[in-house]
Structure 1
Amino acid sequence: MDTALLLKLAVALAPVILLLVVFERLDVFRLVSPGSVLAYAAAGAALAALSYAVNGHVMDGLPIGFTDYSRYVAPVIEEVLKGLIIVGLFALDRVGFKLDAAIAGFAVGAGFSVFENGYYLWLFREANLGVWIVRGFGTAVMHGGATALFAVITHEFSEHQAHHQGRHSRLYPWVFLPGLMVAIAIHSAFNHLPGDPLLAMLAAMVVIPITLLAVFSRGGATAHEWLEHDHEGHARMLADIRAGRFADTEDGRAITATAQRFPPRIRADVGAWIELQLMLVLRAEEIILAFERGERPEVGEAEHAEFQRLHQLGRTIGHAARHAIQPHLRFSRSDLYEMHMLRHRVGAGTNHKA
């Protein structure tokens, strides 16, 4: 590979990769593991390959030129495809805070742009260096930023919905629409400047990083406040359960009434199942706060045994009983996300030891 092609490859791929590394490093809570970042980027790359085929098929069937297609149709197709990963992460409670929403979104967009720029470089390797500078510092950053903002805005609307309808309310499709519209608008606006590529590149390189840095600054403070508040609330709830005070609360009475419908052997396990969930959520919050302080807490066999015990109790209680009781525990999406992250860290720790 000649020097000129290597230089083109570097400017086409390096900027968005470096920004992704910077954003991942800014996550002092260590909410998103490097493995997850790579997985999101790989998913984005796969979607770029899919979008190439979809765009080709759709463009052949529409009576419009390439310019109008790139401005009004391609942004919709590509942002919807990238957004599918984010929708899936929210649906599976794999997004807890704006920080990890932004990182996940940017990783998906970065993977998308790396595949797209790499593929175009393979097709048009004779294009001059300026083309790849614009694509690397402009188009690639736009792809990452648009998907990151989609994830951040979706997180904001999902939190607003949860505040009004309950801590773990159902996700309705409208929650995703504002962020998707913003992502499409950014993409379309960028594609409206083919005759002024330097302006498009500068806008992407200035506006998107500054916006995301503001999200990280504000998101970090919000995440800390949320974690501290939730940790206190969960610790108080656990203390109330152990002291017998929780049974006198509205949720405690509802759980007791629900549990009375179960066989005695199941009723005995309900309390242990609830207490163990609270213990694991508290442990997850303690670990995340420790990472913020620069500490590296150990997780391993003890937490692994607790998750196994939780799984066994859940099977004993059954899906119907868990489904009836879970709303009264008032766990938020962030709480469930924290438990998922703890489970992931435990799995990684025990696998490493093995």
Structure 2
Amino acid sequence: MTLAVSIVIALIVPVIFLFLLRRLDLHKTAKFKKNIATLGCGALAYLLAVQVNRAVANSGLLTWTEIIRYMAPFGEEIFKSLILIRLVNRADFNYIVDGALYGFGAGIGFAVFENVEYVRGTEIERALFLAVARVFSTNLVHAAGSGLIGAALAFHRGMKDKRLGAYAILGGYAIAIVFHGVFNTMVNAGTFLAVAIGYGMIGAALIWYFIRRGMDEQREWVGEKLGMQDRVTKEETRAVTGIGKMMETLIAPFEERFGGEKVPLVRELLYTQAEMGIKRKLLEATPSPARKKEVEDIIQGLYETMESLRKRIGVYPMMFIREVYLAQSVNAWSVLNARIAESGAGQKGGGVWDLAGRRIEESKAGEENP
């Protein structure tokens, strides 16, 4: 029973980490099916790494300690990244959020298979402890390493200067390999469990940081590129760029007025518009004419999806969506004007303008009466 519980923990908890992290993807650009694929490819990367590590150990070229500390971090990060290279080079790939989440998924896929091997190979009395310890340390290190590489590959995808992007890729691989190698060395040397867990948490925090930064940049892209060329109004653009507050400012009143049936359509509409804006920005960093054509075809498909969703939502609900965000803009200016009036900083006198006027008069008086 203990062994079964340990294996379940080793398999399920790391995957839960991935799905919790996916909640940070407010634009929903990282596709669920692709994240599942990265889990599977991460598992295949583990099987490949095991064969390579064993072959090197059997050949006598390196000791097992040397493999753990030096070779394994290099080889395992390379193997985990193969699926990421494939995904990043697809026309439907977006940006850093996708790269970090797909990379995290590949690392988790690698880690859960490794977990099972370790748990099954230890004494039953230690199985539960080992499963929990690995979930909060080794698993997060694996996920963080490939997540960093995924983010670096994605950064290259979004850069106009591909030489600078290439440096980012090299840096991503180097940091991931060193990060992994330091962890393996510490664990192999018998470091305290708390240190190993803390190290894993640092890795998870790094991926969280990159996803948040990626989301901020994507919001800017959407605000910059989404507009009338895609027949997206300013109010709709405001809704998409403020998608994190969508539940409290739009969805709740929308559902109250029109019911819950159309709420999923509204969500899908905003996600579709967000991806259109991101894709338009990526066009600028796509040098290949053939790849540009692929991205443009995707944008056209997103446009058609958007138009279909608008029709399914209906005219009056769409007017409501636009009015909510238009009203927010108007209210913001009203509040600003009211505060200016209260402070006496307007044209009617008072505030900073009257103060400036008094200072000028005082200065003139001083010059006339030295």
TM-score range, shorter chain: 0.5 to 0.7
Q: 1:211 aligns with which of 202, 206, 215?
A: 206
**Alignment match, 1:144:** 143
* Aligned residue type for 2:177: I
Structure 2 residue identity aligned to 1:186: F
Q: Using the TM superposition, give the Cα deviation of residue 135 of structure 1 relative to its aligned residue in structure 2, in angstroms.
A: 1.6
CA-to-partner distance for each residue in 1:323-350, whole Å, 9 max, x for gaps? 76876x8x9xxx669649949x89xx9x
Task: Compute the TM-score of the two structures, normalised by the length of structure 2.
Answer: 0.61
Q: Which has the higher contact order (CA 8 A, sep 6+)?
A: 1
1:76 aligns with 2:74: yes
Does the 8 A contact of 1:98 with 1:215 survive in 2? yes
1:222-257 deviation digits (Å, cap 9, x = unpaired)? 11111121213xx4xx4xxxxxxxxxxxxxxxxxxx
2:265 counterpart of 1:297 = yes
2:129 maps to which residue? 130
SS in 2 for 1:192: helix
Kept after mapping to 1: 8 A contact 2:39/2:106: yes
Q: 1:134 to 1:341 in 2, by over 3 A?
A: farther
Among residues 16, 21, 36, which one is paired with 1:38 in the alignment?
A: 36
Q: SS in structure 1 opposite 2:186? A: coil
| Equivalent runs, 1:59-74 vs 2, <5 Å | 59-74=57-72
Identity of aligned residues (%): 22
**Structure 2 counterpart of 1:177, from 163, 170, 175:** 170
Q: Compared with structure 1, are the counterparts of its residues 117 and 341 closer, same or farther at alpha carbon in structure 2 (3 Å cutoff)?
A: farther
- Residues 282-334 of structure 1: CA deviation (Å, up to 9, x unaligned): xxx9997696535633779xx9xxxxxxxxxxxxxxxxxxx76876x8x9xxx
User: How many angstroms does 1:13 deviate by?
Assistant: 3.1
In the alignment, the residues of structure 2 paired with residue 176 and residue 42 of structure 1 have an alpha-carbon distance, to the nearest angstrom, of 23
The aligned counterpart of 1:49 is 47
CA distance in 1 between partners of 2:108 and 2:132 (Å): 16
Greater Rg by CA: 2
Residues 113, 326 of structure 1: CA spacing in aligned structure 2 closer, same or farther, 3 A cutoff?
Answer: closer
8 Å Cα contact 1:108-1:144 kept in structure 2: yes
**Conserved? CA contact 1:16–1:144, under 8 Å:** no
Structure 2: distance between partners of 1:341 and 1:43? 28
Matched-pair contact (CA < 8 Å) for 1:11–1:137: no
Give the partner amino acid of 2:183. F
Q: Is the 8 A contact 2:25 2:97 kept in 1?
A: yes
Deviation at 1:220, TM superposition (A): 1.7
In structure 1, distance between residues paired with 2:208 and 2:171: 21
| Alignment check: 8 A CA contact 1:31 1:288 kept | no
Report if the CA contact (8 A) 2:103-2:143 is conserved: yes
Task: Select 2:116's aligned residue among 109, 115, 118.
Answer: 118
The 5 A counterparts of 1:290-329 are: 293=246, 296-297=264-265
Question: Aligned partners of 1:5, 1:31: CA distance in 2, in Å?
Answer: 38
Deviations 1:66-114 (A, max 9, x none): 1121000011110000011111112223431221111111011111111
The residue type equivalent to 1:126 in the other structure is I
| Match of residue 326 from structure 2 | none
Determine if the alignment matches structure 1 residue 95 to structure 2 residue 90: no
1:153 to 2:157 alignment: no
Indicate conservation of the 8 Å contact 1:95/1:337, yes or no. Answer: no
Give the match's secondary structure for 1:73.
helix
TM-score (norm 1): 0.64
In the TM superposition, residue 201 of structure 1 has moved relative to its aligned partner by: 2.5
Going from structure 1 to structure 2, the CA distance change for 1:324 and 1:219 (only over 3 Å counts) comes to: closer
The runs of 5 or more residues in structure 2 that have no matched partner are 252-263, 273-287, 310-370
* SS of residue matched to 2:117: helix
For structure 1, list consecutive stretches of 5 or more residues without a partner in the other structure: 239-277, 304-322, 350-354
Contact 1:142 1:204 in 2 (8 A): yes
Q: Give the match for residue 325 of structure 2.
A: none
3-state SS of paired residue (1:93)? coil
Matched, 1:187 2:186: no
Partner Cα distance (1:221, 1:172) in 2 = 19
- State the distance in 2 between where 1:288 and 1:338 align: 19
Tell me if the contact between 1:94 and 1:340 (Cα under 8 Å) persists in the aligned partners: no
Aligned residues between the structures: 268
- One-letter amino acid of the structure 1 residue matched with residue 153 of structure 2: T
SS at match of 1:29: coil
In the other structure, the counterpart of 1:264 is: none
